[in-house]
Structure 1
């Protein structure tokens, strides 16, 4: 047989020199003369979501012989060398087989369309790896999920994610060169989906695999068989056993000895658990255990031998006899190694297994599904590892049956109806899809809030079907409404909850003024400045501004009435034209139809005046026409030749001047002085009996309008000086004036 001499030599070396070998792993690919012939069209990837690291190739090798099946992950220890899908059948009475065997394969990447295999060089025929946490923009494989090639999707067209890590690819048996068993293609397309999670327990040592096999040819495939072939190597490759537990649908491989060259004294056991068969009759399957260099049970060397093995026969087509019962069987090694009962494998060897299902007839475009897991059990020795494997199979099946066989997926789990007027109605179509393999019964739907209603109560949902559930929001009162719609069913978790929310409102305007105060800053008297007052309607009805008034005539409202649409804004123009006599603060009062029907905005500004005054050569009788508690002469009058002389029972020289007090100041030439500052609107002067030298305010005021406290204390005319004294009936800003007072009192200037 092939490689016989090499194999015998390696086994002799292993037996004789095992203690010296330590953990220097023998390269099995060299023993089998395998070549890593990965073409450019090929891609590889790893499943590595839990304790398993399984290398795959998208040419049909579920386990790539050059990447293998590592357990525990990153330990450098392996339990499977290689394996993949076998499909066999007859077309026009001619046997055809699509299979992988070590480094050869009948498969190429890509789909078959209208009977024509698509180019395997198309870069989209690759592995797509997505995760439970992916969303748009986070993973290019998620964004480019190949729906057109058959990749499964949800009702909202997003990728189906059955677990934390999900890997999908598609291939077909169109390879003609280097094809194992050298038959013509069957024209089958295989959509492969591998997934898993790190859920504590047996699931963290498990990888799920699903094959969807489609006859894409124009001919019926008669007497077809679908199988999984595995070359299991529990550590060292030449000391393994295989078997099957028919009650658990568990094919397994475990170590012949309690001591393995690589795993040591606690070698694990590997299991292949069937979850969904591609046949209707659950008893239509066979199990073959291969032995390397065994004339009866070595690998098949041609299509007829391979087909016979898949049918559960010997390589020559004769029946298999159970040595314990002497009865014909299709299932080898169905006994129990733990109890040492029934037909069990007792021959240490490089073992492979083939688990096949059939016969079936596959019509053109008919598909069959094969679901299974690869899982690892561990214990203190080889048999306790096998026992552990069997004991934990139920957790895997429960997970699959509850979460995967019957699975409901909703287009959303949170519905926000936003705001809606009381008495109106808004609908939302919730899409629910049965992504599992079995029918789902929706027993009932409840809601804990009467403002939300559902148009379904109980119904059935066939596998792959979707249904639209119409949910309505009809708010009865104006407030926030929150609720839960609960779907009770026989799928995974037995119930799903949809959160619903919405706010009931009454149509009304809401007046919002973002800026509660407008400051015009500095504006000169006899000038003006315009600013906008922004009014926002945050309500859902038209805001009517009926009128806007100002409490200060210096602030005028240009726009007095307008309508503001819901959720819109408008600007009101406000003009500030300061006068001397009015205050610098006011209010804009806004009357409208929103509660509480009135709003106000503070208006403020700083008014200044600019005053020019001609001065004479020589002495001038002056006063300060702007507000000042103390202003230095050299700042106000830089060309002055003297200090300022005011009168207080005699002349007093000062370096500074204040408003309201008259003073003499001498200049070398005629000139003009400019005053800029805040105006004097109301001035109160305290006067003494006799002559007083006073100042004028920032505006002209008739002497007859000066308020005297007490009455009639003024006993002379007012006199200003321009080259000579001049009687004045109007006091002008910037000049000083003499006036005689009968008794001490107060003079008030009010414009």
Structure 2
């Protein structure tokens, strides 16, 4: 069972008068090969061990303490750095000198939480403007991965996944909690994303250009049209904001039926999910941070599990000492 089978950072923005995008689904636009002076590999440190600065890539932003020695976020951390490459990609509009420093870390008291911190470092001489950032996931809760559904709680800044009503045991939920956005940008969208070519309007196969990825981050479909809440007939960049416990509002599971799907059963699917924030600017030589937590929650029932997931999301957002760091590097 995988609560998170795959995940990826998406970034779009204007640089040098051109739309630039770093975004993929199952693969990545990033590699450490084009990065100037980039170290290779993933570095792992923990808070209980003493380290020397030898071999630690502080010159490219790896976190250090006041003495210049390796610093771990949380109790244990994996850290790496990478830049964008167009190699093997359908995209031909990569950013110029955009470095991503990624830290994945955890705290012992939150064994069901993984924190992910992305530093977006603009090492070019050109600002990146009208930028959006998002976290795309391929989450799986069931052995039968075609029986999952997704939703969003805007108050808790939580994009979550849950099992369809016909699953016998629904006491497991999971989700991405947005903790910190670049320049404190607001949430921008919770876009419908479907696997491969299913419903081309929102299908992954329809993401065939830089513009399509940028539109997705803005909450628009693959053709640039706004999503429409079938329960209100109003345009919205946030899909599936309804209450799955009460069965009210806009819910996932009715993507392939007509209109409001009245009287039709909620159907699970092999889910995909995208939550984004923007817009913002990264000035030349500046850095912005995007931090989230991926939480896996069990409970006595679906209702209890989702309630606990929401409560923990609130706790994490209210405890910045767990995830907000200022490196000495």
Q: Give the TM-score of the pair, scaled to structure 2.
A: 0.86
> Deviation at 1:218?
2.5
Contact 1:258 1:267 in 2 (8 A): no
Q: Which residue of 1 aligns with 2:218?
A: 311
Q: Which residue of 2 aligns with 1:246?
A: 154
Contact 2:316 2:322 in 1 (8 A): no
Taking the aligned partners of 1:143 and 1:268, their CA distance within structure 2 comes to 43
Q: Label 1:326 to 1:358 Cα distance change in 2 as closer, same or farther (>3 A).
A: same
Alpha-carbon deviations, 1:625-648, whole Å to 9, x = none? xxxxxxxxxxxxxxxxxxxxxxxx
- 2:72 maps to 1:135: no
In structure 2, the residue corresponding to 1:78 is in which secondary structure? coil
Could you list the runs of 5+ residues in structure 1 that have no partner in the other structure? 1-76, 111-115, 406-434, 437-463, 466-751
Q: 1:285 aligns with which of 188, 191, 214?
A: 188
Q: Which residue of 1 aligns with 2:262?
A: none
Q: 2:5 aligns with which of 77, 81, 84?
A: 81
Q: Which residue of 1 aligns with 2:30?
A: 107
Q: Which residue of 2 aligns with 1:179?
A: 89
In structure 2, the residue corresponding to 1:325 is in which secondary structure? coil
In structure 1, the residue corresponding to 2:309 is in which secondary structure? helix
Taking the aligned partners of 1:327 and 1:266, their CA distance within structure 2 comes to 31
- 2:260 maps to 1:357: no
Match runs of 1:226-625 below 5 Å: 226-235=133-142, 236-257=144-165, 259=167, 265-282=169-186, 284-292=187-195, 293-299=198-204, 300-347=207-254, 348-398=268-318, 400-405=319-324, 435-436=325-326
Taking the aligned partners of 1:229 and 1:220, their CA distance within structure 2 comes to 25
- 2:109 maps to 1:190: no
Q: Label 1:180 to 1:194 Cα distance change in 2 as closer, same or farther (>3 A).
A: farther
Taking the aligned partners of 1:221 and 1:97, their CA distance within structure 2 comes to 11
Contact 1:95 1:183 in 2 (8 A): yes
Contact 2:2 2:139 in 1 (8 A): no
> Deviation at 1:370?
0.5
In structure 2, the residue corresponding to 1:384 is in which secondary structure? helix
- 2:114 maps to 1:211: no
Alpha-carbon deviations, 1:166-200, whole Å to 9, x = none? 11110011x2321243433343100111110221x
In structure 2, the residue corresponding to 1:161 is in which secondary structure? coil
Query: Which one scores higher on RCO, CA 8 angstroms, separation ≥ 6?
Result: 2
Alpha-carbon deviations, 1:191-213, whole Å to 9, x = none? 111110221xxx11001111010
Contact 1:151 1:159 in 2 (8 A): yes
Q: Which residue of 2 aligns with 1:159?
A: 70
In structure 2, the residue corresponding to 1:396 is in which secondary structure? helix
Consecutive aligned runs of 4 or more in structure 1 exceeding 3 Å deviation: 380-384, 402-405
* Paired residue total: 311
Q: Which residue of 2 aligns with 1:117?
A: 35
Contact 1:98 1:186 in 2 (8 A): no
Contact 1:289 1:351 in 2 (8 A): no
- Pairwise CA RMSD: 2.4
Q: Label 1:229 to 1:246 Cα distance change in 2 as closer, same or farther (>3 A).
A: same
Taking the aligned partners of 1:340 and 1:238, their CA distance within structure 2 comes to 20
Taking the aligned partners of 1:359 and 1:395, their CA distance within structure 2 comes to 26
Contact 1:266 1:380 in 2 (8 A): no
- 2:41 maps to 1:126: yes
Q: Which residue of 2 aligns with 1:98?
A: 22
Q: Which protein has the larger Cα radius of gyration, Structure 1 or Structure 2?
A: 1
Contact 1:83 1:230 in 2 (8 A): yes
> Deviation at 1:330?
1.2
Contact 1:83 1:229 in 2 (8 A): yes
Contact 2:171 2:304 in 1 (8 A): no
Contact 2:137 2:274 in 1 (8 A): yes
Q: Give the TM-score of the pair, scaled to structure 1.
A: 0.39
Contact 1:323 1:343 in 2 (8 A): yes
Alpha-carbon deviations, 1:368-399, whole Å to 9, x = none? 1101100011123444322221122233234x
Q: Which residue of 2 aligns with 1:145?
A: 56
Taking the aligned partners of 1:325 and 1:101, their CA distance within structure 2 comes to 30
Q: Label 1:286 to 1:179 Cα distance change in 2 as closer, same or farther (>3 A).
A: same
> Deviation at 1:267?
5.0
Contact 2:134 2:275 in 1 (8 A): yes
Contact 1:234 1:267 in 2 (8 A): no
Contact 2:35 2:83 in 1 (8 A): yes
Alpha-carbon deviations, 1:595-627, whole Å to 9, x = none? xxxxxxxxxxxxxxxxxxxxxxxxxxxxxxxxx
Q: Label 1:181 to 1:136 Cα distance change in 2 as closer, same or farther (>3 A).
A: closer
